Structure 1
Amino acid sequence: MANLTTVTRISQEKHPRNISKHLNYGTAGFRSRATELDHILYRMGVLAALRSKSKDGDTIGVMITASHNPEEDNGVKLIDPLGEMLESSWEKHATCLANAGDEEFQVVLSEIVETFKIDMNCKSSVAIGMDTRASSPGLNTAVVDGVKSVDGLCFDYGTITTPQLHYMVRCINTRNAYGMATIEGYCNKLSKALKNIWQNQGERKVYKPHIIVDCANGVGAKRLKDIAERFDKILSIEIRNAGEGKLNYRCGADYVKVNQRGPEGIDCIEGQKYASFDGDADRIVFYYTDKDNIFHLLDGDKVATLIASYLIGLIRKCGLELNLGIVQTAYANGNSTAYIQDELKVPVACVCTGVKHLHRKALEFEIGVYFEANGHGTILFSDSALSKIESSCSSSSNESEKLSANELRTFVDLVNQTVGDSISDMLIVETILRDKDWDVADWDKSYRNLANRLLVVKVNDRSVFETTNAERTVIKPTGLQKAIDDHVKLFPNGRSFVRPSGTEDVVRIYAESDTQENADQLALAVAKSTYDLAGGTGNLPTL
């Protein structure tokens, strides 16, 4: 039986708390400078093993990554048995354990064991993965020490994308019913699904099976190469920013989305299709330049609408009645929401920012498509939907309906349902573009995004902000929402909101309008009001 006194001794001797600042476990887990995280990674190893014991030995995942953050940062998040985010009731315990002083550590551990009635004699197992940061191997060692301190078993996958680790955890706990819990199994599942769908689509005149992918100098480069090699001549994938430069520096999905231009080092050629991953390959955005050398971004909103239009058509061809819905956040472009509701006739739900909120809401639909505008998202198929699809495959008397149902069933295997996955999402987009026989410009024409701008204002204390209406309305500071409303009235198709960061004392300003100039001016006006009414620090943001 694991002894909590031994756990505490190892913590104090090998992984003592070396910082005084308080860190919160949020949607992305913990993130900070890598030099501040050793004791937290040890403690999360312990917590993951305890979580496993509380789930009767089911494997829990620990991913070491800071996603799109700078290279000197790192972080950690826990993954629950079916590949989902850590259950929210455990987040506060993760925060307490991470911030406890060395002398309080055992007391907090004991409280967790007592709260969840954990049988310390129960076996536990933890799957561990990490991104390519130089600090990751050392932090991996801290996690392993934590798991072993409570007699847990480790499955160390080494360098792996975040969504791949989510996939592995689900495979292990479903006894490989979801797929084989190996990189080979992951690649086989996705590549087999793509090839099976494509072979029934016939030749295409417009669609071009070629894409150039910016991998942000992160782990996605190696893992994309694993699967790209399986496509022979049916899909050409060129990999750029494969590790020769600095992680996430002037490249990657976040850089492209925020700056609305291609990554440095890639000269966008007219009509060529490009995509950018983030550092741990769970976000993706697409882009191209037109004949006038104008940059066009196709972000998470565009991906969600493309997927929804494809699924609607396929569901109708199957003759099935399935409840399909799309989940967005306040950052979704207003025209994307209008297109979904008015053209696709699909219900839209808006939730607070954070994948856990979108994932939870998507589960309310038989087929739930969720994407944040930043390119993080996936598709969830309920047991009810899968049962209806399977029944149509086997019992439909209409040959056309049966073929469509088989395509839909195969499409399910192309989706990593555990979390947003850059590789899976890229293959999904390629498959749908091929099905529609579209090039990237055809896709972009489905609807026109409103011009938008995202700015950041530094404030003394982000805790003074309080929002409601899925973060679209600010309640505090008093008077700020009225100021925003007054600014919005001055701009055609104007919309703006402010949202405090969950990890630092900054406030994000989002604005959109009919032209880029108007969107910029609206964002700057709201930023100044926020600065004045909320105790801004430093310089006002500029463009």
Structure 2
Amino acid sequence: MKYIYGTAGFRADASLLYAAIIGSTAAAALRSMELEGKTVGVIITASHNPVSDNGVKIIDADGGMLSMAWEEKCTNLANVSSKSELDILIKEYLVPSTCQASVVIGMDTRPSSPRLSELSKVILDELSASYKDYGFVTTPQLHWIVRLINQNSTYSIPSNPPPLVLYYDSLCNAYINIFSSFTVHHRPTLTVDCANGVGSLPLKELSKRLRDCIDLRLTNNDHLASKYLNKDCGADYVKTTQSPPVNLLDKMVPNQLYASIDGDADRIIFYFVDKNKKFHLLDGDRISILLVSFLKILVQKSRLPLSIGVIQTAYANGSSTAYLKKLGIPIICTSTGVKHLHHAAKNFDIGVYFEANGHGTVLFSQGCLHKLHNPSTEQSNTETAAIDALLQLSQLINQAIGDALSDMLAVLSVLGSLLWDATGWLSMYDDLPNKLVKVKVADRSVFVTTDAERRLVKPVGLQEKIDNLVASYEDSRSFVRASGTEDAVRVYAEAKTPKSAAELSAKVCGLLQ
């Protein structure tokens, strides 16, 4: 098969992944040597994919995603047809360096992960690389570890690797400090669906450490029951079906908050049922709005000159965008894909981004942290409290990548500070009814977009027809973008009423026939 390294790295049926593991591991070692021995990560996971699948992804030295220049090299290394061809490519990509490669490895709890991890270590041994195997970890935990190693000269691989306990210390200490500042020390209850994945392990640890602050109740938390991984549960299931995990049907307590993470714990979705048992989803858009609204309050109270903004994609609900505009918060719309959102978030002192699927984070720039640690004038009690809250949130929220666990604690921090429950969060704005449909086409490459994938350039004339349809419905919009993985396009439509959204969607789909 032909491997292509994308946003999620390589993913395939686990039995077809050996060449991808070899190529990715070689790429990680070469990237480390190019960066003069900085540590790079290799995480073996397939997130919300079926348990028979697996994948591999490289974590760059800043703790973020692999640089785009190396995506192509990684693809080439994974697609060689022989050992000799691999050796030739390794020599071609090898930058003269006296530094030994430094790599950390982690994996999720899929049954295929241990043998793929062992293969990765064989390749690292052949390349004389230094490495540390962290075993079962969430994807965001390994991102966090890579970032920590390269920011702190205290740590090195393999002689002095940072223990994973530091991750828990960072999250728990920050949350406890925020909790202690609550005007009312209410201990919230949160039931978390762990998708029977690797996230079960750290959530059990957080549950123990934070038992005085949070009543964390875990379900679908058997990481050893691999056949149930993501089965009728998990963030992707909840978002896609707009319903709770099957095992929670008819068991949910009205107006009590619930959450689902995905298989590798890099995304989270919240939800609840009201007194009439109606299901309400609190997705990535709503997480973003909740966090940025609170952060804006803190920035205003701090009286520090800090810019704050939100990054969205075309899939963000129009009501969330309107709410942000009403608050006067700058918005940048980017193409879909975490790398685009993460990069754009760096335009602000505090940049917030979440995809609708619940993957996202809040980035605090180095300039922002400097101002928070070194205010230029003497602060009032209110200003000091706001600055301290911002500092605690910067410690709590994973600065490397979207992290379901740190995002969970950030949401609970904000709700506790505002004395809100799930209904208060939902009441911030009303979602516009929307519909997302996949339409199979003969050749997806003929659909070319512009304006952050919101408008079509080709086929010529199609966008004008879409505009005419949109003009006939109130508070409506629609866009068409090609799938990144198959010959299909995705049609998004939203309007003031469900009937209008469905009609608009059907008519736009009709234009594609």
TM bin (shorter chain): over 0.9
Query: Of 300, 304, 311, which residue of structure 1 is paired with 2:295?
Result: 311
* Superposition pairs of residues 502-513 of structure 1, within 5 angstroms: 502-513=484-495
The residue type equivalent to 2:494 in the other structure is: E
Identity %: 46
1:269 aligns with 2:253: yes
CA distance in structure 1 between the partners assigned to 2:201 and 2:505 by the alignment: 38
Query: Of 165, 172, 175, which residue of structure 2 is paired with 1:184?
Result: 165
| 1:219-253 deviation line (CA, Å, top 9, x unaligned) | 11111111111112321111111134621122111
Is contact 1:396–1:402 with CA below 8 Å preserved after alignment? Answer: no
Query: Of 387, 393, 407, which residue of structure 1 is paired with 2:389?
Result: 407
CA distance in structure 1 between the partners assigned to 2:57 and 2:343 by the alignment: 18
Query: Of 174, 191, 195, which residue of structure 2 is paired with 1:212?
Result: 191
1:221 aligns with 2:200: yes
Is contact 1:45–1:145 with CA below 8 Å preserved after alignment? Answer: no
* Superposition pairs of residues 33-432 of structure 1, within 5 angstroms: 33-102=13-82, 104-113=85-94, 117-119=95-97, 121-175=98-152, 181-203=162-184, 209-243=188-222, 244=225, 246-267=228-249, 268-342=252-326, 344-392=327-375, 396-432=378-414
Q: CA deviation at 1:426?
A: 0.3
Q: CA deviation at 1:122?
A: 2.1
The residue type equivalent to 1:135 in the other structure is: S
Matched residue, 2:158: none
Is contact 2:22–2:78 with CA below 8 Å preserved after alignment? Answer: no
CA distance in structure 2 between the partners assigned to 1:213 and 1:524 by the alignment: 36
Is contact 1:46–1:149 with CA below 8 Å preserved after alignment? Answer: no
Is contact 2:187–2:212 with CA below 8 Å preserved after alignment? Answer: no
Moved more, 78-87 or 250-259: 250-259
Query: What is the aligned length?
Result: 502
* Superposition pairs of residues 20-35 of structure 1, within 5 angstroms: 21-35=1-15
Q: CA deviation at 1:176?
A: 7.0
The residue type equivalent to 2:297 in the other structure is: G
Q: CA deviation at 1:318?
A: 1.2
Is contact 1:221–1:242 with CA below 8 Å preserved after alignment? Answer: yes
Q: CA deviation at 1:202?
A: 2.7
Cα separation, partners in 2 of 1:108 and 1:464, compared to 1, 3 Å: farther
| 1:485-534 deviation line (CA, Å, top 9, x unaligned) | 3332333222222222222333222221222333233333333433x1xx
CA distance in structure 2 between the partners assigned to 1:527 and 1:99 by the alignment: 37
Is contact 1:273–1:288 with CA below 8 Å preserved after alignment? Answer: yes
CA distance in structure 2 between the partners assigned to 1:241 and 1:483 by the alignment: 47
SS class of match (1:57) = coil
SS class of match (2:374) = helix
Cα separation, partners in 2 of 1:65 and 1:524, compared to 1, 3 Å: farther
CA distance in structure 2 between the partners assigned to 1:503 and 1:111 by the alignment: 29
The residue type equivalent to 1:424 in the other structure is: S
| 1:51-95 deviation line (CA, Å, top 9, x unaligned) | 111111111001111111122211111111120111111111111
Q: CA deviation at 1:177?
A: 7.9
The residue type equivalent to 1:108 in the other structure is: L
CA distance in structure 1 between the partners assigned to 2:496 and 2:509 by the alignment: 19
CA distance in structure 2 between the partners assigned to 1:399 and 1:44 by the alignment: 51
| 1:135-161 deviation line (CA, Å, top 9, x unaligned) | 111211221122222110121111110
SS class of match (2:246) = coil
Q: CA deviation at 1:395?
A: 5.3
CA distance in structure 1 between the partners assigned to 2:460 and 2:208 by the alignment: 57
Q: CA deviation at 1:424?
A: 0.2
SS class of match (1:275) = strand
Per the normalisation by structure 1, the TM-score is 0.89
Moved more, 345-354 or 510-519: 510-519
Is contact 1:474–1:481 with CA below 8 Å preserved after alignment? Answer: yes
The residue type equivalent to 1:465 in the other structure is: F
CA distance in structure 2 between the partners assigned to 1:376 and 1:87 by the alignment: 19
CA distance in structure 1 between the partners assigned to 2:445 and 2:124 by the alignment: 34
CA distance in structure 2 between the partners assigned to 1:414 and 1:368 by the alignment: 15
Q: CA deviation at 1:314?
A: 0.8
The residue type equivalent to 1:123 in the other structure is: Q
Is contact 2:26–2:77 with CA below 8 Å preserved after alignment? Answer: no
SS class of match (1:104) = helix
Is contact 1:303–1:429 with CA below 8 Å preserved after alignment? Answer: yes
CA distance in structure 2 between the partners assigned to 1:293 and 1:63 by the alignment: 40
Is contact 1:24–1:503 with CA below 8 Å preserved after alignment? Answer: no
CA distance in structure 1 between the partners assigned to 2:432 and 2:337 by the alignment: 23
SS class of match (2:116) = helix
Cα separation, partners in 2 of 1:516 and 1:240, compared to 1, 3 Å: farther
* Superposition pairs of residues 442-521 of structure 1, within 5 angstroms: 442-521=424-503
Q: CA deviation at 1:254?
A: 1.3
Root-mean-square deviation over aligned CA pairs? 1.9
Q: Where does structure 1 lack aligned partners over 5 or more consecutive residues?
A: 1-20, 533-543
Q: Where does structure 2 lack aligned partners over 5 or more consecutive residues?
A: 156-160
Q: CA deviation at 1:166?
A: 0.1
